[in-house]
């Protein structure tokens, strides 16, 4: 079975880049990405590639090459479903904010809506691919909805979780460590798996394309994210001990990372992990474990989240304590708001919680981020519901000039590891700040020797103060 038309429902951080790369690598397949969010689709279609809704290094040139050739962005969901042989579901699955499983379980309402829409529109057999991260056994729910259309249309459900990381999405898609495809073990299931393998085989070596049953595939995605997040929480837990004992977390990371069983990646201490996946997926895992009565398993994974919350809170606590136990009326400059560098995504970013804690202490926060828009920063603060939006706008200011943001500040907090922060004229920044001038480096990014020579009092996550 040869795929000639693909539809992807959801034009977000996963759907957009993934489909752009599929379209680039498979010029004979027509790829249509649809979304109910009209302004998002307009942004994907904008002639000005700087206005794409997702910022990812290298994405603009791929969109430029494929858009209008075999890559299309549209709000006409029904037509795209009707035409396609293969439909990717790439809609958001946030943590539930209401009802049973509130604050834990994944909210599958968008997925269900997609399944119902596909069931309503489809007139011919289709392969439906789950791209969004989903709890184990979601495929059976989708299948249930699709199999009860009564019009004889047959569906095959595949799980094809996306492992791309934001900020490196294009590289991760072009050269994935592996592609995982889970499907039914029946003959029809195997044919569907082969159809998807054939698409990836256009650019991914065959030995990196792994096929499994649907449940293993769904669970592997949650497991991978849980393990990655757990490494960050583990190194962050050690960073606290480093600060007390005089050890340096960078040296410890290097020393343990050289053990081939541990490996060097994902051992950077930070102000806490963010992003749309880690917290959501672990909460989801905790919820699944609890629902099977596996309380010890649930508690084990929940600790990864509790450690992450602690890391964010202790960062802001340290700022308050160091600034003589009060930041009331003091200006604190934030360098960075995104949850990591090279993305404009702010979901679950540590900066949000740190800002909220500091505003509770009546600090004045000034924010600079090279890619995040002002309205997004205010939306993130308002979403917390900690105070009136008018107050958020009075206490927190956003500026597109980092030197203005740091001017007259009592302290600078580095929340995102943007490379450009290292290129600043730190002498100039120092001269324009209140004294003593503090830097709290939540990413271990800046050159501490240089800053200390200038006169800054420099605090870095995981660097022990000399005792
Ligand atoms: C460990 C460290 O590996 C070593 O670097 C350190 O110097 C001493 O402690 P050891 O205890 O001798 O070495 O053996 P190791 O291979 O680490 O196994 C420890 C236990 O973990 C064993 O019971 C082993 O069966 C178990 N294990 C290990 C697993 O259950 N699963 C695994 O994947 C690996
Ligand atoms: C993650 C997974 O890496 C990816 O495979 C999955 O598909 C989606 O979730 P993403 O959230 O985009 O990707 O970024 P990632 O690079 O994993 O970083 C997540 C958070 O952990 C960031 O806030 C980052 O700053 C933090 N982090 C990461 C650390 O604090 N230290 C590290 O060593 C690595
Ligand atoms: P992710 O990081 O998983 O890609 P995003 O929130 O960036 O998540 O993107 C998900 C997209 O899915 C959003 O743009 C949203 O408008 C879209 N979406 C959600 N439900 C539907 C639906 N029923 N039909 C079409 N698009 C949808």
DSSP code for 410? S
| Last residue in a domain, options 145, 179, 204 | 204
Are residues 298 and 414 both part of a single domain?
Answer: yes
Residue 466 lies in a domain: no
Pocket of ligand 3 (CB under 6 A): 9-15, 34-37, 40, 77, 90-92, 110, 113-114, 132, 276
Does the beta carbon of 232 lie inside 6 Å of ligand 2? yes
Within 10 angstroms of residue 137's Cβ, the number of other Cβ atoms is: 12
260 C-alpha to ligand 1 centroid (Å) = 14
Separation of alpha carbons 12 and 242, rounded Å? 39
Atom of ligand 3 nearest to the CA of 113: 23
Q: In a 3-state reduction of DSSP, which class is residue 9?
A: strand
Residues 156, 40, single domain; the answer is: yes
pLDDT value at residue 414: 98
d(CA 189, CA 327): 61
Q: What is the pLDDT of residue 263?
A: 98
Q: Which of 8, 26, 242, 277 is catalytic?
A: 277
Does residue 327 share a domain with residue 179? Answer: no
Element (H, E) at 87: strand 86-89
Q: Which of 171, 204, 237 is the last residue of a domain?
A: 204
- What pLDDT score was predicted for residue 142? 85
Q: Taking the model in full, what pTM does it have? A: 0.94
pLDDT, position 135: 75
277 is catalytic: yes
Identify whether residues 256 and 200 lie together within a single domain.
Answer: no
* DSSP characters over 153-185: --EEEEE------TTSHHHHHHS-S-EEEEE-S
Does the beta carbon of 229 lie inside 6 Å of ligand 2? no
Total Cβ atoms within 10 A of residue 229: 23
Mutation choice for ligand 3 from 90, 91, 115, 281, CB with most ligand atoms inside 8 A: 91
User: 84 and 155 share a domain?
Assistant: yes
Which ligand has the minimum distance to the alpha carbon of residue 93? 3
84 is a domain residue = yes
Q: How much of the chain is helix, strand and coil, in % rounded to 5?
A: 45, 15, 40
**Contact between residue 187 and residue 158 where contact means Cβ atoms under 8 Å apart:** no
Task: Please give the residue range of the domain that contains residue 414.
Answer: 247-460
In this structure, the answer to whether residues 49 and 119 fall within a common structural domain is yes
Strand order in the sheet with 364-368: 396-398, 364-368, 331-335, 411-414, 438-441, 457-460
Quote the CA–CA distance of 378 and 384 in Å, as a whole number: 10
155 plus 298 within the same structural domain = no
Residues 51, 106: one domain?
yes
- Establish if 223 belongs to a structural domain: no
Give how many domains the chain has, as a whole number.
2
Query: Which numbered atom of ligand 3 lies nearest the CA of 93?
Result: 3
Let me know whether 437 and 327 are in one domain: yes
Helix (H, G, I), strand (E, B) or coil at 24: helix
Rounded to an integer, what distance in angstroms lies between the CA atom of residue 239 and that of residue 242? 5
For the chain (length 467 residues), average pLDDT per consecutive 10? 93 96 98 97 97 95 98 98 96 89 87 92 94 79 81 90 96 98 94 97 98 92 96 98 94 98 98 96 93 97 98 98 98 98 96 98 98 97 97 98 98 98 98 98 96 97 76
Using DSSP, state whether 415 is helix, strand or coil. Answer: coil
Q: Based on the fold, state whether residues 179 and 320 are members of the same structural domain.
A: no
Question: 193 and 288 share a domain?
Answer: no
Task: Please tell me the distance from the alpha carbon of residue 191 to that of residue 50, in angstroms, as a whole number.
Answer: 40
> Distance (Å, rounded) from C-alpha 179 to C-alpha 196?
10
Q: Which ligand lies nearest the alpha carbon of 94?
A: 3
- In the reported structure, the alpha carbon of residue 264 is separated from the centroid of ligand 1 by a whole-number distance in angstroms of 19
ipTM of the complex, rounded to two decimals: 0.94
pLDDT of 467 reads 45
Q: Of all atoms in ligand 2, which is nearest to the CA of residue 270?
A: 30
Give the strands of the sheet with 5-9, arranged side by side: 71-74, 30-34, 5-9, 86-89, 126-130, 155-159, 179-183, 209-213
* Residue 71 main-chain phi, psi, to 5 deg: -120, 125
Q: Which of 274, 432, 256 is nearest to 346 (CA)?
A: 274
C-alpha 186, offset from chain centre: 35
DSSP 28: T
Cα–Cα distance between 184 and 215 in angstroms, integer? 10
Alpha-carbon torsion 211, 217, 222, 223, what sign? Answer: negative
**For residue 212, is it within any domain?**
no
Q: Is residue 356 within 8 Å of residue 366, measured between CB atoms?
A: no
The DSSP H or E segment spanning 352 is helix 350-360
CATH code, 50 = 3.40.50.720
Write the CA distances from 29 to 21, 22, 269, 370, integer angstroms: 12, 9, 43, 36
Give the chain's end-to-end CA distance (angstroms, integer).
69
> Tokens in use for 245?
């004992």
Identify the bridge partners of residue 86 per DSSP, sorted by sequence position.
6, 127
Which residue, 194, 182, 189, is CA-closest to 218? 182
In a domain, 221, yes or no: no
Name the helix (H) or strand (E) containing 102. none
Verify whether ligand 2 is closer than 6 Å to residue 257 (CB atom): no
Domain membership flag for residue 237: no
On whether both 320 and 375 belong to a single domain, the answer is yes
Cβ contacts of 275 within 8 Å, gap of 6 or more: 166, 339, 340, 345, 347, 348, 349
Radius of gyration of the chain (CA): 24
**Count of alpha carbons within 13 angstroms of residue 186, beta-carbon side:** 7
In the numeric block, which tokens belong to residue 374? Answer: 């002002």
Residue 305 CA, ligand 2 centroid: distance in Å: 14
Is there a contact between 149 and 108 (Cβ–Cβ < 8 Å)?
no
Q: Would you say residue 364 lies in a domain?
A: yes
Confirm whether 129 is domain-assigned.
Answer: yes
**pLDDT value for 137:** 76
Phi, psi of 312 (to 5 degrees): -65, -45
Is 113:39 a contact under the CB 8 Å cutoff? no
Domain boundary among 183, 204, 225: 204
């Amino acid at each position: 079975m040869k795929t000639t038309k693909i539809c992807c429902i959801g034009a977000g951080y996963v759907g957009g880049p993934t489909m752009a790369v599929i379209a680039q690598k498979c010029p004979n397949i027509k790829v249509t990405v649809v979304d109910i969010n009209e302004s998002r689709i307009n942004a994907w279609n904008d002639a000005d590639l700087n206005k794409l809704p997702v910022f990812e290094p290298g994405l603009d040139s791929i969109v430029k090459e494929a858009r209008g050739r075999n890559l299309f962005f549209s709000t006409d969901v029904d037509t795209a479903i009707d035409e396609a042989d293969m439909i990717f579901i790439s809609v958001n699955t946030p943590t539930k904010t209401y009802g049973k499983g509130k604050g834990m379980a994944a909210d599958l309402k968008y997925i269900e809506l997609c399944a119902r829409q596909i069931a309503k529109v489809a007139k011919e057999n289709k392969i439906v691919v789950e791209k969004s991260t989903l709890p184990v056994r979601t495929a059976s729910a989708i299948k249930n909805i699709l199999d009860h259309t009564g019009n004889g249309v047959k569906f095959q459900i595949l799980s094809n979780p996306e492992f791309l990381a934001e900020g490196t999405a294009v590289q991760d898609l072009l050269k994935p460590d592996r592609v995982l495809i889970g499907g039914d073990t029946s003959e029809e299931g195997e044919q569907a798996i082969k159809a998807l393998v054939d698409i990836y085989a256009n650019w991914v070596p065959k030995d990196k394309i792994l096929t499994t049953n649907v449940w293993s595939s769904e669970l592997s995605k949650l497991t991978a994210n849980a393990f990655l997040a757990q490494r960050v929480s583990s190194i962050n837990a050690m960073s606290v001990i480093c600060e007390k004992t005089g050890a340096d977390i960078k040296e410890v990371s290097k020393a343990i990372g050289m053990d081939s069983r541990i490996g060097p990646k994902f051992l950077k201490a930070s102000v806490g992990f963010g992003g749309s996946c880690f917290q959501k997926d672990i909460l989801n895992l905790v919820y699944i474990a609890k629902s099977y009565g596996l309380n010890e398993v649930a508690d084990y994974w929940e600790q990864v989240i509790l450690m992450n919350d602690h890391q964010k809170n202790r960062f802001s606590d340290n700022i308050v304590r160091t600034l003589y136990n009060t930041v009331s009326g003091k200006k604190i400059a934030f360098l960075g708001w995104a949850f990591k560098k090279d993305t404009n995504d702010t979901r679950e970013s540590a900066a949000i919680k740190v800002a909220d804690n500091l505003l509770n202490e009546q600090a004045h926060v000034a924010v600079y981020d090279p890619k995040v828009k002002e309205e997004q920063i205010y939306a993130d603060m308002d979403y917390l519901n900690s105070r009136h939006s008018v107050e958020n706008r009075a206490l927190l200011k956003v500026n597109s000039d980092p030197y203005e943001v740091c001017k007259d500040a009592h302290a600078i907090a580095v929340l995102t590891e943007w490379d450009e922060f290292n290129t600043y004229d730190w002498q100039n920044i120092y001269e324009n700040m209140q004294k003593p001038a503090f830097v709290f480096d939540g990413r271990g990014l800046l050159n501490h020797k240089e800053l200390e020579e200038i006169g800054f009092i420099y605090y870095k996550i995981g660097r022990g103060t000399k005792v």
